[in-house]
Amino acid sequence: AQSVTQLGSHVSVSEGALVLLRCNYSSSVPPYLFWYVQYPNQGLQLLLKYTSAATLVKGINGFEAEFKKSETSFHLTKPSAHMSDAAEYFCAVSGSEYLSSSNTGKLIFGQGTTLQVKP
Amino acid sequence: NAGVTQTPKFQVLKTGQSMTLQCAQDMNHEYMSWYRQDPGMGLRLIHYSVGAGITDQGEVPNGYNVSRSTTEDFPLRLLSAAPSQTSVYFCASSYFMGGTPETQYFGPGTRLLVL
């Protein structure tokens, strides 16, 4: 079975500092990986996704993530944090074992990481 | 485009009551799904559908029913509410490409409190 582990339920950085949110996955097949962001009292919004093309994926709002198969990781980074980045971030996996005519698109989410940005 | 809409935004139920959470999308997406979000547990898939008339169970289906009579609507029914169903419920939709998972678009959520 596939799974996702996000290391650190809370991460706090200063404005302007590097943001690093960690995600490790477990999958017996090549995975598709996603990062979603949830602002307070809102639904989830896609930041970026990896679908076996380039291993370094650029997303919205200056975020990027690098797929490292040897480390089974898909960490999310941003060079300089803004106050507006404060939110909860979710890593999710959807592997090819799920991709059939009846069940494509099923996502397995990590537990989430709350990012706090201090002025 | 309204995207994915959910009603109600907030609901309080008593144990044993039933209710239906509504979800609609206007993007002509084939794939729709329901998740529940609980603190420290991320989002967990309840039920999903790959088209009208086709539904299947996700990770935590017990206590919930779904049906999909149209492409646009995917209601979630709580048959007999229990306090363990207190949660935030999200509906999502995406295109069905048959080979690569597409971006899922999420609704704003329904907060449910079961007393």
DSSP state of B73: B
Classify the C-alpha dihedral B11-B45-A45-B99 as positive or negative: negative
Residue A98 has pLDDT above 60, yes or no: no
User: Who has greater pLDDT, A78 or A104?
Assistant: A78
**Is B93 within 8 Å of B105 (Cβ atoms)?**
yes
- pLDDT for the residue numbered A53: 73
Which residue in chain A has the smallest CA separation from B38? Answer: A111
- B chain contacts of residue A37, beta-carbon cutoff 8 Å: none
Run of H or E residues at B23: strand B19-25
Task: Identify the pLDDT of residue B18.
Answer: 96
> ∠ CA B60-B64-B66 to the nearest 5 degrees?
110
Measured CB to CB, residues of chain A less than 8 Å from chain B are: 4, 9, 32, 34, 36, 41-46, 49, 51, 90, 92, 94, 98-99, 101-112
Q: What are the chain A neighbours of B24 within 8 Å (beta carbons)?
A: none
Judging contacts by C-beta atoms under 8 Å, the chain A residues touching residue B108 are 41-43
Give the percent of chain A with pLDDT over 70: 87
User: Chain centroid to CA B112: how far?
Assistant: 12
Query: Which among B4, B35, B102 has CB closest to A105?
Result: B102
- Nearest Cα to Cα of residue B81 among B6, B16, B7: B16
Report pLDDT for B94: 87
Residue-level pLDDT at A117: 97
Quote the tokens at residue A55: 């291993």
User: Are A87 and A65 spatial neighbours (Cβ–Cβ below 8 Å)?
Assistant: no
CA–CA separation, A86 vs A74, rounded Å? 20
State which H helix or E strand residue A31 sits in: strand A31-38
Residue pairs between chains A and B whose CB atoms are closer than 8 Å:
79
Which string of b and e fits B79-108 if b means at least 16 CB within 10 Å?
eebeeebbbbbbbbbbbbeeeebbebbbbb
pLDDT tens digits, one per residue of A17-74: 999 999 999 876 667 889 999 998 888 999 998 877 788 999 999 999 999 989 999 9
Q: What does chain A come to in residues? A: 119
Average model confidence (pLDDT) for chain A?
Answer: 87
Query: What is the spatial distance between Cα A50 and Cα B49, in angstroms, rounded to a whole number?
Result: 23
Region for residue B106 given its phi and psi (left: phi exceeds 0; alpha: psi -120 to 50; beta: otherwise):
beta
- Whether A99 has a pLDDT exceeding 60, the answer reads no
Q: Which residues of B touch A (CB under 8 A)?
A: 4, 31, 33, 35, 40-45, 48, 50, 54, 56, 58, 90, 92, 94, 96-104, 106-109
Of A41, A103, A107, the CB nearest to B104: A107
What is the DSSP-derived secondary structure letter of residue A52?
S
b/e map of A45-82 (b: 16 or more CB within 10 Å)? ebbbbbbeeeeebebeeebbbebeeeeebbbbebeebe
Provide the pLDDT for residue B100. Answer: 60
Q: How far is A83 from chain B (nearest CA, A)?
A: 22
E strand or H helix at A48, and its extent? Answer: strand A44-50
Contact (Cβ atoms closer than 8 angstroms) between residue B33 and residue B50: no
Residue B103: what pLDDT?
81
Mean pLDDT by 10 residues, chain B (115 residues): 92 97 94 91 89 89 96 96 97 75 86 97
**Which residue(s) pair with A15 in the sheet?**
none
